[in-house]
Structure formats: C-alpha cells, structure tokens
Structure 1
C-alpha cells in the first residue's frame, strides 16, 4: 500500500515578471486527472477533510497560505506535512485518512484521479478503522 509523499513541481520565473509552477500528468502527477477543485476563503485554523477515499488518488497543493495536512494509514502510521509553497504538493493514495488545517488565507487546489462519487468516501473515522481492519 502506497504512503503519502511530497511532490516538487517545476518552478520558473522571477520577482519582476511573476512565476510559473508546472504539474504534468505522467511526470509529477502519477495519475490521469479527472477532477480538480479548490478551496478558498477558509477562516484561519479551520479543519477540513477528516475522511478517506477507497479508490481516489489526490494531490493537494497550497497555492497561497499554509495548510497542515495530517495523514493516517490503515496500519496506524501518522504523518504530518506542512504545505507553504505552490512548488510542492502532497500525494494522497487511496486508503489514507486525512485532515487539513488552513492558515494564513490558504488557497488549496486538489487534483483527483476520479470524479466525485459519494460511495468512494469513508467519512466516519470508526467506519475507516473497521473498513481496513
């Protein structure tokens, strides 16, 4: 079973003209992207997520601000990642319980391997633990 990991994106540009960060399917994105969404205007310190996916892979990127991502694998391994730059993202394979805490006017974009399907979600922590027992 894969574990979450940090992905570094190609970054080019300058302070006087601006920057371009690049994510490419088959290079930095290890799956075909079928859905993208973004979160913004989240009050400081709010926690979102608190779920896992049975099949969907995701990449989370903090375009602005800071997002603290805590992940838990079915075997109980817990990791914490801090996203503070659009040049990095975190890859979340299926089966990973995750929560995101937003700070500093964070704006997040998420690339997903699948379309939205409610049946793919494990939204209750007790259901997650039971599912992967």
Structure 2
C-alpha cells in the first residue's frame, strides 16, 4: 500500500538528524540507492512502474511532487518537502515526479539492483498487468 513513512527525527539546536535502519523503518531491504538533483524547472522525471521493486522516495532538500496514476487514469499527488518523510511505493505503482523546486534533491531507496527488465515504461502495458 502506498503510504508516507515518518522517519525518526532527532531535534537538536545544532541541527536535526534523521536516520533509516533496516528493518525498523522500511518494509524492504535496501539494495540500491540513487538520487536526482539539478532537475531543470518544468521537467518531469519517472513515468514508469517497476514489476518487482519496492521504493522509498525522500525529499532530502527542497520539494517536489510524486504523482501516482492508477490503471483507470485517476491520479493522486504527494508533495514531499521534509527530509523525515518518505513515500513508500510498492511494485506495480505508476509514478512520475514533477514541480521540482530550485536545488531539490530526491533520494530513492530501492529493494533491487538496477534491472532494465523490471521497468514498465508504457502506460498501456502497465494497464494490462
């Protein structure tokens, strides 16, 4: 189930700290980590689903929207702008990211190593699964 996961936040006047420990905060083991940055204004990233991969997306800096599209084409938008909240996406979730603020950084924790065959890149194919 798609959901926001609140990560631990240790408040300190010198600066806050957030951490992730498996399996305490994540419903999957992490095998790959990647991040996106320097996304030009107006650009859209993503536009795919994964067949088997689980993912947690965190806005480490700035903000952006993750738009989930259901097979019936209805959409739900999640605005990520806090580094202690992550959006959990199970397999077979069609998503794209948009509305990136200046200097935003999106961190992605994945349950799988990169595998091009795990991507569903055509929405019509996604609808059939």
Query: Measured at CA, do residues 26 and 73 of structure 1 come closer, stay the same or move farther in structure 2, by a change above 3 Å?
Result: farther
Q: Which runs of 4+ in 1 moved over 4 A?
A: none
Partner of 1:10: 8
In structure 2, stretches of 5+ residues that fail to align are none
How many residue pairs get aligned? The number is 128
Write the distance in 1 (CA, Å) between the matches of 2:88 and 2:37.
20
Deviations 1:2-24 (A, max 9, x none): x3110101111334x11211112
Q: 1:106-125 maps to which residues of 2 (within 5 A)?
A: 106-125=104-123
Deviations 1:16-71 (A, max 9, x none): x1121111211211110000001111112311000000000000000011110011
Write the distance in 2 (CA, Å) between the matches of 1:116 and 1:39.
15
Of 68, 72, 78, 1:71 maps to: 68
Of 47, 52, 55, 2:52 maps to: 55
Asked if 1:46 corresponds to 2:43, the answer is yes
TM-score normalised by L of structure 2 = 0.92
Q: Secondary structure at the match of 2:16?
A: strand
